[in-house]
A and B are shown apart, each in its own frame.
Chain A
Amino acid sequence: MGNISTYRKTIPASTKNLSEARDFVAEYARKNGFNAQKISDIRLAVDEAITNIIKHAYNGEEDHTIEIELTFKDDRLCVELFDTGATFSIKTFKQPNIEEKIKQKKRGGMGVYLIHSLMDNVSYGREDEANKMVMCKYKT
């Protein structure tokens, strides 16, 4: 068994708490030796994922929580996010056509693409009646 560290934090499902969540993940990524570029990537991916949970799983209702769990093992960080909101399906993560979105006055779909671009592995599932999203990134 390699060296494993885990850290856990629960935040209210409000965009007010996005910076707190980003800082939490960034702090431990830094302490565990991730470089500045990788930390930036992880910060943004976590922000986009939590924003999607707030908007789509909880539909903007703030009286819910999101659990963040970080696991560092060997040279890899996995971020797990749990929520008890609606399960929303991730249909596509191809590069969004921004020109088309501007014309149609639509904005969505960018976050999911960013998450998949920035992280090495992304998966979705259900666990104990909660939605679970796992995204991992390697240190090197």
Chain B
Amino acid sequence: MNTFSINQRSELGCTILDLEGELDAHTASELETVFQDLIARDNLKIVVNFNQLDYIASAGLGVFMAYIEDVRTEGGDIKLTNMNKKVYNVFDLLGFPALYDILEDESDAIDKFSNL
């Protein structure tokens, strides 16, 4: 069984998305819907916490690619945090660390947004 879930929280004006389970071509659309909704509501300080995410395929990375420019153009960002090594390796293989703010911990991302 493929399990994936997204929980949303607010902390100091940031929206935190807690991802859990496996993000692949089947489950990517759920994340896509959440991003669309956040952008529509102008919630553009987005922190994605990968702590409970066990697995990611390129379809999952594609979701981050699709929305990063819209969010940054409007003055926000999508910051990625708490990745395990396996998940980080996939982002790294494709060169994402040069383009995305990938941080050790959720609190680092919130700090960065607060200091803007």
Chain A residues in contact with chain B, CB under 8 A? 14-16, 18-20, 22, 40, 43-44, 47-48, 51, 54-55, 95-96, 98-99, 101-103, 105, 107, 110-111, 113-114, 117
Contact = CB atoms under 8 A, between A and B. Distances in A.
Contact of A117 (B2, B57, B65, B93): B93
B26 A110 contact: no
Contacts of B40: none
Contacts, number: 69
B99 interface: yes
Contacts of B66: 105, 107
B68 to A, nearest CB: 6
B59 A51 contact: yes
Across the A-B interface, the 9 shortest Cβ-Cβ residue pairs = A19-B2, A15-B26, A107-B62, A110-B58, A51-B25, A15-B25, A47-B57, A111-B58, A102-B65
B31 to A, nearest CB: 13
